[in-house]
């Protein structure tokens, strides 16, 4: 009797696999060691790096930096303002960098890294992400448009006629993506995955709108020469990406030079970060394990979350919490307009924009997202922290910035608390049965896209169209006797046709002699 062949051990299998491997001509070997493959795919065993890449990390660090700034500004206000108002000029006067303070370097230079990450994320979402498909992108874009128009109108109405409030309407249009995603992650399984996709697309579209406002509405007189130089450098960076030159030795000097030219041109320097981020490739080549956009987002995302945003919050949220300062902010029309615009404007505008898009048939609700979820979604969009603080410093004079910062901080805290409460209510957990799943508003108002289930079994996934499952006719057969023919194989007294389903309406069957199993 022949013996079955012996199975080779792990070492034997590895040796056979290496011997059977034939490298392709002109390309890298397809086989790599396990460690290199894991590193290329982004598997990192460093616990600190994994913590920084978590969604809740950015929100936690932002909250910690805000609390530290409030404590610092109220315990030692003189030292706080001395540090961030210190003169930190650099370079020759023609570069326009000699009059910058420490807070200006944070808002103009350090925050450009954050906007570069936003630009990379926006490029990825527009190319291969949630905004790549027009039908999928219509809902968050429409919600973002409503969430920008309604707060601006509310703030404009409440600040009409107030001195120094000419451009305050732009402050409540933005959404803080890190803070909002951190608050949403605290809801746990109560928030569906589709809600996170809509929130991400909404926040990215809001950031894009805020960036356009910064570029168009808040410039200090555009210099055509410097702007042409910045455009030339951006074209060079785009050509380098097209030619697959991805070396940091080329792109880092290009990024610094572009930032200097954009700042000298009179446009806010953070626009350079967004423009450079939009040039990064978001689709990988066949011989690449990941796209450059994914790789940059993976490497620079933790730096933005752990360094850039907390330092900016530390420099921008040092407001006084004295009772007199809080009363002054509460009585200031600009502060009231900003706070009410962020909370009430986003709560009204985001659902209204989404509802209008679905009503017109341009968008559909994602799977698992119901209209009840748009209440916490609008509240999450009211967390306009980072970009709103930046817009407040650009749109208002220095005497009004502290009151607007207090309003932004208060509105963000209130919106976060209300969003968590709304996500934990049974309404958001159960939702409206008529608005369940994807479908246009007309389908959800007048009926589903298919036949309405009429039986409990059909609602659980049974036959559609009001059909009842086949049932037995007459009495149950005794043990040992042949069973009666099914209504789907022979006619019965209810009018069923041979080979067809039983009618949906049940009638009382008159008991009598058992029908013959072989009808004529």
Structure-block tokens of residue 69: 């700034």
Most confident of 22-31, 157-166, 472-481: 157-166
Split at pLDDT 50, 70, 90, the class of 186 is confident
CB atoms within 10 A of CB 2: 4
What percentage of the chain carries pLDDT values higher than 90?
23
Whether 108 maps to a domain, the answer reads yes
443 Cβ neighbours under 8 A, 6+ residues apart: 449
Q: Any idea which residue has 């598997």 for tokens?
A: 43
Confidence at residue 119, expressed as pLDDT on a 0 to 100 scale: 86
Q: Assess whether pLDDT exceeds 90 at residue 440.
A: no
Give the span between the Cα atoms of 400 and 167, in whole angstroms: 12
Our CA angle for 395, 399, 400, nearest 5°, is 50
Contacts of residues 465-470 at CB distance under 8 Å and 24 or more positions apart, as own/partner, are 466/504, 467/501, 467/504, 468/501, 468/502, 468/503, 468/504, 468/506, 470/501, 470/502
Name the helix (H) or strand (E) containing 337.
helix 333-340
CATH of the domain at 206: 1.20.1530.10
pLDDT of residue 497: 46
Is 463 among the domain residues?
A: no
**Measured on CA atoms in the order 430, 433, 437, 439, is the torsion positive or negative?**
negative
DSSP string, 60-109: HHHHHHHHHHHHHHHHSHHHHHHHHT-B---S-GGGT-TT-BHHHHIIII
Q: Is 497 or 265 the better-scoring residue by pLDDT?
A: 265
Model confidence at 167: pLDDT above 60? yes
Q: Give 87's strand partners.
A: 101
Asked if residue 259 is part of any domain, the answer here is no
Is 513 or 330 the better-scoring residue by pLDDT? Answer: 330
Contact 316, 103 (CB under 8 A): yes
> How many angstroms separate the Cα of 41 from the Cα of each of 122, 301, 353?
21, 16, 38
Look over the chain and give the mean of its residue pLDDT values, rounded to a whole number.
76
Question: Distance between CA 446 and CA 452 in Å, rounded?
Answer: 11
Confidence at residue 257, expressed as pLDDT on a 0 to 100 scale: 94
* List of residues 6+ apart from 218 with CB closer than 8 A: 167, 170, 268, 391, 394, 395
- For the chain, how long is the longest CA-to-CA vector? 109
Mean pLDDT (whole number) for 391-414: 88
Alpha carbons within 13 A on the beta-carbon side of 52: 19
| pLDDT band per the 50, 70, 90 thresholds, residue 43 | very low
Instruction: Determine, yes or no, domain membership for 2.
Output: no
At residue 490, the pLDDT reads 45
Tally of structural domains, the chain: 1
pLDDT at 258: 95
Asked if 123 and 280 touch (Cβ cutoff 8 Å), the reply is: yes
Residue 166: the pLDDT is 73
pLDDT tens-digit series, residues 248-276: 999 999 999 999 999 888 888 888 998 99
pLDDT band at 491 (very low <50, low <70, confident <90, very high): very low
Both structure tokens of 19: 């011997």
Residue 84 resides in a domain: yes
Tell me the pLDDT band of 342, cut-offs 50, 70 and 90. Answer: very high
Domain membership flag for residue 485: no
Boundaries of domain holding 369? 54-218+268-432
* 404, 338 Cβ separation under 8 angstroms: yes
Confidence of residue 442 (pLDDT cuts 50, 70, 90): very low
List the single range of 139-143, 223-227, 514-518 with lowest mean pLDDT.
Answer: 514-518
Q: Is residue 240 part of a domain?
A: no
Question: Which residues are registered as beta bridge partners of 101?
Answer: 87
Report d(CA 417, CA 147) in Å as an integer: 19
8 Å CB contact between 225 and 266: no
Q: Which residues contact 237 (CB under 8 A, 6 or more apart)?
A: 251, 254, 255, 258, 276, 279
What is the rounded average pLDDT of the residues 65-91? 89
The answer to the question of residue 381 being in a domain is: yes
């Amino acid at each position: 009797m022949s013996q079955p062949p012996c199975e080779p051990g792990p070492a034997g299998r590895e040796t056979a696999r290496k011997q059977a491997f034939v490298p392709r001509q002109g390309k890298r070997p397809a086989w790599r060691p396990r460690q290199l493959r894991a590193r290329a795919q982004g598997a990192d065993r460093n616990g600190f790096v994994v913590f920084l890449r978590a969604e809740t990390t950015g929100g936690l660090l932002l909250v910690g930096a805000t609390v530290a700034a409030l404590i610092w500004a109220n315990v030692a206000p003189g030292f706080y303002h001395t540090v961030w108002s210190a003169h930190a000029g650099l370079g020759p006067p023609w570069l326009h960098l000699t009059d910058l303070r420490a807070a200006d370097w944070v808002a103009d230079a350090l925050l450009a890294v954050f906007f570069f990450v936003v630009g990379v994320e926006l490029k990825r979402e527009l190319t291969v992400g949630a905004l790549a498909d027009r039908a999928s992108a219509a809902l968050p874009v429409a919600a973002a448009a409503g969430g920008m128009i309604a707060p601006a109108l509310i703030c404009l109405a409440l600040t009409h006629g107030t001195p120094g409030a000419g451009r305050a309407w732009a402050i409540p249009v933005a959404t803080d993506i890190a803070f909002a995603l951190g608050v949403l992650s605290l809801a746990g399984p109560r928030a569906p995955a589709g809600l996170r996709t809509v929130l991400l697309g909404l926040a990215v579209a809001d950031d894009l709108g805020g960036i356009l406002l910064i570029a168009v509405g808040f410039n200090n007189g555009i210099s055509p020469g410097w702007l042409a130089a910045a455009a030339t450098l951006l074209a060079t960076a785009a050509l380098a990406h097209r030619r697959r030159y991805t070396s940091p030795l080329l792109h880092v000097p290009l990024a610094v030079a572009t930032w200097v030219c954009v700042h000298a041109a009179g446009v806010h320097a953070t626009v350079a970060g967004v423009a450079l981020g939009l040039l990064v490739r978001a689709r990988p080549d066949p011989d690449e394990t990941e796209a450059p956009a994914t790789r940059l987002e993976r490497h620079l995302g933790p730096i933005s979350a752990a360094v850039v945003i907390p330092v900016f919050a530390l420099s921008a949220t040092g407001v006084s919490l004295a009772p007199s300062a809080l009363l002054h902010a509460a009585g200031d029309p600009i502060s009231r307009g900003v706070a009410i615009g962020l909370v009430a404007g986003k709560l009204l505008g985001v659902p209204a924009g989404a509802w209008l898009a679905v009503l017109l048939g341009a968008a559909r609700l994602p799977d698992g997202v119901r209209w009840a979820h748009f209440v916490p979604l609008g509240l999450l969009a009211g967390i306009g922290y980072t970009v709103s603080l930046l817009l407040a410093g650009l749109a208002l004079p220095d005497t009004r910035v502290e009151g607007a910062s207090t309003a932004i901080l208060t509105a963000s805290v209130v919106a976060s608390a209300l969003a968590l409460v709304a996500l934990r209510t049974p309404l958001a957990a159960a939702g409206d049965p008529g608005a369940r799943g994807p479908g246009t508003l007309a389908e959800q108002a007048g009926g589903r896209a298919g036949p309405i289930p009429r039986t409990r079994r059909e609602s659980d996934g049974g036959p559609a169209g009001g059909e009842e499952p086949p049932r037995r006719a007459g009495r149950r057969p005794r043990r040992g006797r042949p069973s009666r023919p099914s209504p789907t194989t022979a006619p019965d007294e209810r009018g069923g046709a041979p080979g067809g389903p039983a009618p949906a309406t049940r009638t009382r069957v008159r008991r009598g002699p058992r029908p013959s199993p072989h009808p004529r």
